[in-house]
A and B are shown apart, each in its own frame.
Chain A
Amino acid sequence: MTGAFLALVVLTAATVFGLRWQARRGRFTAAASTAPTALDGLGIRPGAVTLLQFSSRICAPCRATSRLLADIAGTHPAVEHLEIDVEAHLAAVRALDVRRTPTLFVLDRGGNVVVRASGLPARADVESALQPLLTAA
């Protein structure tokens, strides 16, 4: 009987956790200011608005995120999509406090991190995160 009760507790707790996880997945939040050297060696091209994506081997939604961002970058000439393998860039991972994959940063033309999100984002959310950066001269 205690086993059945435990199963019920686990499934309930997991449901609550899952709903919260789902609600936060791919949501953009303002990014903390980072050291100027945090992005060194990642190959960020100045002058472009960058969609910087951190991915890993062990990550199913990374591929879908990659497809989405590449598609968005393809429709905006000023937007560049840059995908980084976390294992090859652990210094940047630590400096930017990347904890899970995919983690996505949107950088303005000056190479400053503006917003970040974890998990597969919605296309509309990416577009609206890009909007103010593209209109600003």
Chain B
Amino acid sequence: MTVDSRGLRFAAWLTTAVLVVVLVTGSGWLLLAQSLVFALGAFFGLRRSPYGLLFRYVVAPRLGPPRESEPEAPPRFAQLVGLLFGLAGTVGYLLGAPLLGAISTSAALAAAFLNAAFGFCLGCEIFLLLRRATRRTSTVPTRKQEGAPA
């Protein structure tokens, strides 16, 4: 399953804008709505998330045929990470811990903005680190001799 690269960028910019508004207003309800968008993207695919639908029916027809498509797994993973920060932030804002809300929203904003502006792929950076941390190697790992580097 692949998605239009331009749609991903569009969704990332829209997410960035929404998260800036959340930070400025401190609105837990808006962050809850954004978290719902993250959840739909993570569990049902980017094409079925509200931003994906908006791109497909409103933006894409004005742009012409897609030039590049990407596999869907990496952005879905990023949506899942966004969802975790979004939920933590929502809990913070709505249950009277605005600092938790602001910190979580800031983390989500940084990731969304890096993706939108630089094509930064969150999964590329953290997926392997998570795997390395959570899963042991089945075979005996080859340990590098620490000491004199070449």
The yes or no verdict on A and B being binding partners is yes
- Which A residues form the contact surface with B (CB < 8 A)? 3-4, 6-7, 10-11, 13-15, 17-19, 21-22, 30, 32-35, 37-38, 40, 56-63, 86-87, 90-95, 97-102, 119
A21 to B75, CA, bound (A): 19
Of all chain A residues, the one with the shortest Cβ separation from B130 is: A58
User: Which one of B36-44, B47-55, B59-67, B112-120 is at the A interface?
Assistant: B112-120
Interface of chain B residues 125 through 150 with chain A (CB within 8 A): 125, 127-129, 131-132, 135, 137-145, 149-150
Q: Is B100 positioned at the interface, with any CB of A under 8 Å from its CB?
A: no
- Cβ of A47 to closest chain B Cβ, rounded Å: 23
**What would 6 more interface pairs be, CB under 8 Å, given A38-B142, A97-B144?**
A4-B24, A59-B124, A63-B71, A90-B132, A91-B140, A100-B128
A37 near B142 with CB under 8 A, answer: yes
- Cβ of B70 to closest chain A Cβ, rounded Å: 5
Chain B interface, DSSP helix/strand/loop, else mixed:
helix
Chain A interface, DSSP helix/strand/loop, else mixed:
helix
- Chain A residues positioned under 8 Å from B144 (CB to CB): 32, 34-35, 38, 95, 97
B149 near A101 with CB under 8 A, answer: no
- Cβ of A121 to closest chain B Cβ, rounded Å: 14
- Chain B residues positioned under 8 Å from A37 (CB to CB): 142
| Other-chain residue from B25, B137, B149 in contact with A94 (beta carbon distance below 8 A) | B137
A7 to B25, CA, bound (A): 11
* Given A10-B106, A59-B121, A90-B137, A99 contacting B129 (CB threshold 8 A): yes
* Given A10-B109, A11-B109, A58-B74, A3 contacting B26 (CB threshold 8 A): yes
* Given A58-B74, A93-B132, A7 contacting B114 (CB threshold 8 A): no
**What are some 10 contacts across the A-B interface (CB < 8 A)?**
A7-B106, A14-B109, A14-B113, A21-B120, A33-B149, A38-B142, A57-B73, A62-B124, A90-B131, A90-B138
B70 near A63 with CB under 8 A, answer: yes
Q: Is B97 positioned at the interface, with any CB of A under 8 Å from its CB?
A: no
A100 near B24 with CB under 8 A, answer: no
B121 near A40 with CB under 8 A, answer: no
- Cβ of A89 to closest chain B Cβ, rounded Å: 9
* Given A7-B109, A59-B123, A91 contacting B74 (CB threshold 8 A): no
A47 to B20, CA, bound (A): 55
A3 near B141 with CB under 8 A, answer: no
B74 near A3 with CB under 8 A, answer: no
